[in-house]
Amino acid sequence: MRIAFIAGEYPPMQGGLGDFTRELAQSIAAAGHETHILTRPAPPAAADETVNGVHIHRNMPAWGWRTRRHIEAFMRQWQPDVINLQYQAAAYQMHGAINLLVGQLAKRCKTVVTFHDLRVPYLFPKAGPLRWQAILHMARSAQHVIVTNAEDEATLHKTGLRHVSVVPIGSNIAPAALPHFDPHAWKSSNSIDPTLRLIGYFGFMNESKGGETLLRALAQLRDLNVGLLLIGGQHGASDPTNIAYAKYLTDLEVSLGLTPAPQPSESLKTSEIYPSIFRTGFIDEAGVSAALNTCSCLALPYRDGVSFRRGTLLAALAHGCAVVSTQPRIHLPEVIDAQNMLLVPPDDPTALAQAIRRVLSDPALCQTLQQGSLALSQQFQWGTIAQKTLACFSNLTQK
């Protein structure tokens, strides 16, 4: 098959949708299919290049009302058998044109929409019910819909939609080989007290991810020799609301008496006040692996509950981290409390602080969670994800 992916963002741009599209496209190309990506420019990356068998075309000037013309020209040039639109509102510059385009594409080519997230808080300012209607219009216009988690499948089924498949995402960070890795040496090299136990958080900060809860929990751990390590970029390239929320959290750090770290260009030096907060800034995959392996546990207090739509969660599992997260919104049989994650109620700083204390004080529990993470991560391998996605495409092209 010749498969074209439309992606609102793509590496080197920072963002989970772009990382997912890259990994999926490379796995599909490795399976012998011709694979193309249409996305935005990302200097200094080339406008057209082929990487690991994937043909990347960074020539969509912007996502807006002229998007249709550019996509139709792309389709005429490459004649794909299937178009797969990877969708999350922020990746398309909050513009609604892409929502209205799917029906037109479906008249010319088998069209599949992959929804990374059905939450629509920022699609159109003050749009009210139109936000959800725009999402629903996309879903109904496509020949097939892929969602990344059971929660979103249930939401679409309630609307009467049945041409829906669940295909999970995988880790956007492959564990790096780190022979003879020494967490104490890593801390020392970053001017962090080697005796400090680090609580990790990986990923962008937005309101759904519980950053405020995490900071308030950290403030309750002052009696412990701990610090918070914020791994990776904090707001990404697509969603301006993440930038505003990051500023709010920085102000909250000050009001809670927590010590903000220097900017990423400076040393991650510590302070005499505990707990302290350290930021790695955007780092490469090997750097992320090293940071994750340095943390005693990872705290991911999602406000809407733990979900397999979170690529950073899956990266934590792939690295065998002891994860503290929040109770899922719907039953997820794969998640077993105190076996592969330690679960607390959302928006509860005290419960989160108590759970972190429990992991830090109980080596046997910590080891159980680490082993459980690795076992659970086996369900989210990219080869399997590619096979499930290709099965959806093949079913369409055979009709």
Same domain, 59 and 25: yes
- According to DSSP H, which parts of 31-148 are helical? 67-78, 97-106, 130-141
For residue 178, being part of any structural domain is answered with no
Average pLDDT for 128-147? 88
For residue 389, being part of any structural domain is answered with yes
Instruction: Look at residue 275 in the predicted model and tell me its pLDDT.
Output: 64
Give 172's pLDDT tier (boundaries 50, 70, 90): confident
pLDDT at residue 31 is higher than 50: yes
Q: Buried b vs exposed e over 5-44: b needs ≥16 C-beta within 10 Å?
A: bbbbbbbebbbbbbbbbbbbbbbbbeeebbbbbbbbebee
pLDDT at residue 201 is higher than 90: yes
Average pLDDT for 376-388? 94
Of 361, 356, 365, 359, nearest to 221 by C-alpha is 356
Please say whether the beta carbons of 138 and 102 come within 8 A: yes
Average pLDDT for 69-78? 94
Same domain, 64 and 148: yes
Residue range of the domain that includes 129? 2-170+381-397
Instruction: Look at residue 120 in the predicted model and tell me its pLDDT.
Output: 55
Same domain, 165 and 131: yes
Same domain, 367 and 391: no
Average pLDDT for 59-87? 93
pTM given for the model = 0.76
Indicate the DSSP class of residue 349: H
Same domain, 231 and 132: no
Instruction: Look at residue 8 in the predicted model and tell me its pLDDT.
Output: 94
Whole-angstrom distance, CA of residue 337 vs CA of residue 270: 34
Average pLDDT for 75-84? 96
Tens-place pLDDT, residues 110-125:
999 999 888 654 444 4
Same domain, 75 and 116: yes
Same domain, 11 and 145: yes
Instruction: Look at residue 144 in the predicted model and tell me its pLDDT.
Output: 97
Same domain, 310 and 327: yes
The answer to whether the bond into 275 is cis (omega within 30° of 0) is yes
Same domain, 366 and 225: yes
What CATH number corresponds to the domain at position 270? 3.40.50.2000
For residue 116, being part of any structural domain is answered with yes
pLDDT at residue 89 is higher than 90: no
Same domain, 116 and 196: no
Instruction: Look at residue 276 in the predicted model and tell me its pLDDT.
Output: 85
For residue 176, being part of any structural domain is answered with no
Same domain, 157 and 223: no
Same domain, 241 and 251: yes
Number of domains in the chain: 2
Average pLDDT for 229-236? 79
**What tokens appear for 242 in the block?**
């993440």
Neighbours of 397 (CB within 10 A): 11
Tens-place pLDDT, residues 307-326:
998 889 999 999 999 999 99
